[in-house]
Structure 1
Amino acid sequence: MPVNEWVEIGVFAAAEPGEILGRPLYLQKHRIRSGGQTITVTVPRKPARAGIDPYNLLDWEEGADDDNIERVEVES
């Protein structure tokens, strides 16, 4: 199924105890289309996690939506 949607992209600081996600360092909508895409953002401090639709606002797939946020690998 082709995709052409505005979707939130989030980058988050490390979570405090008891939090699932840390403070958002970046949270903006981007147009997501079918096929591969690369999105590059700059944040004010070291990120810990990033993801597409981090608050699960869209119903893209059936079942649990727990695989759209990943740990960040910082390139120097």
Structure 2
Amino acid sequence: YKVTMTVQTKKLYYDKAGKETGVGKAKDLIEIGIFAADAKNKKGMTEKVPLYLKKQWLAPGVHKLEFVVKGKPAKAGIDPYNKLIDRVSDDNVKPVD
């Protein structure tokens, strides 16, 4: 399956007053994830099924990323396990159309 996604990245800092400051064009190592439909483990707990999971250097801005995976993708995104500090982490992974 070919997966194409458009993502926007930016790195920000906040001062003591909560004012947002952009960092510029410095690249960051960000994890990209493409997942099959969630599965249940032996204990009945839901777990993600990664089809692709690797880190990639991304500069701030909009990026069109393309991948080929060996399984039907259900969702994809960046920083899927929320390892980076993010004020709005709910938008990191989206369903695949």
Q: TM-score, normalised by structure 1?
A: 0.80
Report the counterpart of residue 54 of structure 1 in structure 2.
80
| Residue identity matched to 2:91 | D
Is the partner of 1:54 in helix, strand or coil? coil
Counterparts of 1:53 and 1:66, CA distance in 2: 11
* Offset at residue 22 of structure 1 (A): 2.8
More strand by share: 2
Report how many aligned residue pairs link the two structures: 70
For structure 2, the 5+ residue unaligned runs are 1-21
Between the aligned residues of both structures, percent identity stands at: 40
* Offset at residue 16 of structure 1 (A): 2.2
| Residue identity matched to 2:93 | I
Q: TM-score, normalised by structure 2?
A: 0.64
Does structure 1 residue 14 correspond to structure 2 residue 44?
A: no
Does structure 1 residue 72 correspond to structure 2 residue 72?
A: no
For structure 1, the 5+ residue unaligned runs are none
* Offset at residue 65 of structure 1 (A): 1.8
Does structure 1 residue 5 correspond to structure 2 residue 31?
A: no
Does structure 1 residue 34 correspond to structure 2 residue 57?
A: no
| Residue identity matched to 1:72 | V
Counterparts of 2:89 and 2:52, CA distance in 1: 20
Counterparts of 2:72 and 2:48, CA distance in 1: 11
When Rg is computed on C-alpha atoms for both structures, the one with the higher figure is 2
Measured on the aligned residues, the alpha-carbon RMSD in Å equals 1.6
Is the partner of 1:44 in helix, strand or coil? coil
